[in-house]
Amino acid sequence: MIQSILMMGGLGVLISTALVIASKAFYVYEDPTVLAIDDALPGANCGGCGYPGCMPNAQAIADGVQSVNSCVAAGDDVAQAIAAIMGVSVVDREPEFAGPGCYYGNDEADMEYKYLGLTDCRAASLMFGGMKECRIGCLGLGTCVKACLFDALTIGSDGLPKVDQEKCTGCGACEVVCPKNIIRLTSVTRRIMREYTDEECITPCQRACPTGIDIKEYIRLIREGDYTGSIQVIKERNPFPSVIARICPAECESHCRRLLQDDSVAINHLKRFVCDYEMNQNKLSLPYKAPLSGKKIAVIGGGVQGLSTAFFSARLGHEPTVFEATDSLGGILRQAISRERLSMDVLEWDIEGVRQMGVDLKTNTTAGRDFTIDSLLKEGFNAVFTATGGWDSRLLRKDIDKTAKVFPGTFLLIDLLRSKTDKNLDISSGESVVIAGSGNKSLPGAVDILKENGAKNITAILRKPTDDLSLDPAGIDQLIKAGITIIYHAGITRVMGEDDQLKSIEYTKISTGEKKIIDADTLIIGSGRFPELVFIPMAPNDSTDDSDNESQETQEIIANAGPLAWEGVELLKKPDSNRELGLLSDQDTKTEYSSVVAAINGGRKGAAALHNLMYGIQYQEASKIITEQTRLQDVFSLNSVDTSSRNILIPRQTRKEWLDEFSTGFSTDKAHTEAERCLRCGLICYEKS
């Protein structure tokens, strides 16, 4: 008995000793900060933050990887509590909601939907391309509803998911499980930044519109009598709706699917109807914008593109300032369009909408005279965008008697050639000169002038390959004998400088994508306008593609008034069969935009580029962006659509000529009748008559 007790006691001591040793060897330290954050989180473990549970998210917050308000299931009180634990402040976060990409189900569509009865969208998508004709449309089996942990989704009677924005937290669970990318998160920022892709159900008219307005939605709202809602949809992508409603070439109407039956819907005239309604209210209806970011943006040029860039930048939460060289804004709109087509009160109305969005407008301020790129960056602007217009604008404002200079060391070829006979055009070239995009026959004359001005090393960058038949072999040989370096099939993708001096340029081989940097203190642009570039500060020794924007080193340089290194980066290019990249490609504007509505889209793309580069965000994947070469499903005949004639617009000079005093175009009855003609098309479907 005693032996047993002693044995058991000894065994207990042995086990205790082992446990003590094990506790020392296998002790796991638990960070009290992580534990405190985890306690503050609601414990939903929904995964909406992107991490598999609250504890991993708490660790990410403590590590500084996640923001204190990253939990989609929690409210502001939780974010404030976590911020107190971390010793930081909370900033506003832009709301995101799920949204469906289809507008009606198979019961209302006139095209076939071939369901085979499987109960999960992912399984259905794997078989027979989704069991229906449309490769993109919603399958309607409710897998997204099952994935939502917040009861924010239901399947409606039309077979489409319905989102309750009061309950939606923007966690993205529905987006993850949808095999067709129909339901996805959306926000103001996402909608401004994104180009349309071949994965989306975009109507033919919307694809044809350079600004990409959701046409069928604003027409639907007119049909329902919600004119304010309609103008809000238009302003989502167009800050000049009243102007465009009077001068737009209406490319959308030439792609309207009703043309297969009778006449296109009067899309642009319906836009004019709701724009007149807004003007009559004498109160601008401003679209939602993201919370303030604290970023300041300078836009050089107060024409349509510059004002549009500023408008969309303000909607992204930034603080833009427009610098215009003349005493008035609007550019070619003010100078070149007859007052019968566009009255100045309409133009001023839309410009006032840009100002009220939060844009600071400065006139009589000229680049190169009143400011430079580096001076703006040193003043605290986080980025600068050039939207100065082309030769056409200079002719209209009689501004051709002096050299145009927008950013350091860069001149237009037309000014260089004119400087041979016009001594008022002062172009001082440095020793290392790059000529970009010049025509083959204008190169010799440009080279002679540059050599007279002291240039020693001249490089011509041609977009054409060596075997291009348009090149003149004799002229090329003459240039080579003169010591000119010629780089074929390449485009300039970046310019770099320090203070008010150009230092180098980066060019990219179009065939291989290989990038090279060469010295250049002078750049000659072979087009009628300066390229659209985004300028941002960078570290002086940074020559990589992935520069750390606004790094601590750069900020210290600005604070100490030392030399400021900067770079100018081109805008996103759409994928193209010709491998379009670099300045002066076929996608770039050489003189003026072909239409005002295209200039507006150029402004939106400029705002997106500014946003991306300031935050170091990668551009949208280009391979899926819709281009003119993209092959999409379409409809080539209409069934069960009643014939109805287009309503003809008879413009009125004054609003009082109509019974509806606010409208100078359609009456209310005609507008509603015309809106009824819209088929509310999908990709290969349309709403039944």
Domains and CATH numbers, the chain: 28-93 (1.10.15.40), 95-186 (3.30.70.20), 197-288+632-689 (1.10.1060), 406-532+571-590 (3.50.50.60)
pLDDT tens digits, residue range 416-450? 888 888 877 878 888 899 999 766 667 888 888 89
Show the low-confidence residues of the chain (pLDDT under 50): 113, 115, 130-131, 543-551, 659
Q: Which long-range contacts (CB under 8 A, 24 or more apart) does 220-229 make?
A: 220/675, 220/678, 220/680, 222/270, 222/273, 222/274, 222/671, 222/672, 222/675, 223/672, 223/675, 223/676, 223/678, 225/672, 227/273, 227/274, 227/277, 227/278, 228/277, 228/278, 228/285
Name the residue type at position 43: G
| CB distance 565 to 539 below 8 Å | yes
How much is the pLDDT for 315?
Answer: 94
| CB distance 58 to 41 below 8 Å | yes
Task: Give the DSSP per-residue string, 162-175.
Answer: EE-TTT-----HHH
* 681 vs 688: CA distance, rounded Å: 10
How much is the pLDDT for 541?
Answer: 54
| Alpha-carbon distances, residue 93 vs 254, 662, 663 (angstroms) | 41, 38, 39
pTM confidence score: 0.82
| CB distance 373 to 298 below 8 Å | no
* 567 vs 554: CA distance, rounded Å: 12
How much is the pLDDT for 187?
Answer: 83
How much is the pLDDT for 656?
Answer: 59
Output phi, psi for 510, to 5 deg: -65, -35
| CB distance 440 to 470 below 8 Å | yes
Place of tokens 């840009």: 354
With residues binned 3-state (H G I as helix, E B as strand, rest as coil), the percentages for the chain, rounded to 5, are: 35, 15, 50
330: which 2 tokens?
């609007």
Three-state SS for 91-107 is CCCCCCEEECCCCCCCC
3: which 2 tokens?
């032996």
Contacts of 552 (CB under 8 A, 6+ apart): none
The 10 Å CB-count burial string (b at 16+, else e) for 220-251 is bbbbeeebebbbbbbbbbbbbbbbbbbbbebb
* 436 vs 514: CA distance, rounded Å: 17
How much is the pLDDT for 74?
Answer: 75
Please state, as a whole number, how many other Cβ atoms lie within 10 Å of the Cβ of residue 53: 15
Alpha-carbon Rg for the chain in angstroms: 30
Burial class (CB in 10 A: 0-12, 13-18, 19+), 389: buried
* 194 vs 392: CA distance, rounded Å: 30
Task: Give the DSSP per-residue string, 306-358.
Answer: HHHHHHHHHHTT-EEEEE-SSSSSSTHHHHHS-TTTS-HHHHHHHHHHHHHTT
Helix 344-356 with 304-315: angle, nearest 10 deg: 30
pLDDT tens digits, residue range 222-246? 999 999 999 999 999 999 999 999 9
* 667 vs 354: CA distance, rounded Å: 28
153: which 2 tokens?
């989704």
| CB distance 497 to 408 below 8 Å | yes
